[in-house]
Amino acid sequence: MHVRTLTGSLAATLLMSLPLLSGQAAAAGSPGDAAGSPAAARVLTYDASGSAEFRSAVDRGPEIWNESVEGAELRPAAAGQQANIRVLADDGWPRALTTSLGNGTVWIGREAVNEGHNTVRISSHELGHILGLPDRKPGPCSSLMSGASAGTECTNPYPNAAEKTEVEDNFAGAAASPSAVARSAPVLVAG
Ligand SMILES: [Zn+2]
C-alpha cells in the first residue's frame, strides 16, 4: 500500500488539510457538492439557566457536541424561548429524561460531582442521552457513554468515533422519518 510508505509528518499534513479543504468547499457552496451534501444540521436549543454552579461546565457540553457531530447543532435558547433541552442542577445522581430525540431535561447531580466525577464529562454524557445514546457501562474512559464506570479519574468529555456515528445516524434517521421519533416514549436514564 502506498499509504504505508508516507512519512508520519506527510501523513499528518494530509490529515490536517482535509478538514480545511472540506470547510472551504462548504463555505464556497460549490454547486457540484449539492447532490452529495448532508441534510442541514438539526438545531436544538438548550437552557442552562437552572444549572447553578455548573453553568460553565454545562456550556462546554454543547460546544463539545458541536465540534463532534454534523447532524445536530446545540445553541443557547434566547431569553423567553422554549428550549429543546433544559439543564438543571440538583442533589441527586446525574440523569437525563429524553422526551423525544433531541428533547428533554438533564440534571447535573451533585452526588456524582461530590464523589469527584468531572462536571464537563457529566454534562456531555447526559447530553449524549438526549441525542439518543444509551449508557455503555462498564466501559473505558475513551467512551463518553461509559459514564461513571470509567472512574473519577476519567475526565474525557468527548464521544468516541462509534458514539459520534451513532448520533449522526440517529439524526439522519429522524430527518428521514420524523413521525417515528415523535412517537417515541419518554425515557429516563440515571447516570
Ligand atoms: Zn448515562
pLDDT tens digits, one per residue of 66-86: 999 999 999 999 988 999 999
How far away, in angstroms, is 24 Cα from ligand 1 center? 36
Nearest 5 degrees, angle CA 56-CA 58-CA 63? 95
Ligand 1 centre distance from Cα of residue 66 (Å): 19
Among this protein's residues, is 63 annotated catalytic?
A: no
Bridge partners (DSSP) listed for residue 76: 46
Q: Which of 115, 126, 163, 166 is catalytic?
A: 126
Query: Cell digits for 143?
Result: 467512551
Residues lying with their CB under 5 A of ligand 1, a single-atom ion: 135, 147, 191
For residue 82, the CA-to-ligand 1 centroid distance in Å is 24
% of the chain surpassing 90 pLDDT: 68
Residues 6+ apart with CB under 8 A from 42: 71, 72, 73, 102, 171, 174, 175
152 CA to middle of ligand 1, Å?
A: 15
* pLDDT, tens digit (0-9, with 9 covering 90-100), for 161-187: 999 999 999 999 988 888 777 767 888
- pTM here is 0.79
What is the residue type of 15?
Answer: L
Query: Structural domains in the chain?
Result: 40-190 (3.40.390.10)
Burial class (CB in 10 A: 0-12, 13-18, 19+), 129: buried
Written as one letter, the residue type at 164 is K
DSSP 82: P
| Contact of 120 with 61, CB cutoff 8 Å | yes
pLDDT of 177 reads 83
User: From the CA of 77, how far away is ligand 1's center (Å)?
Assistant: 24
Report CA(187)–ligand 1 centroid distance (Å).
12
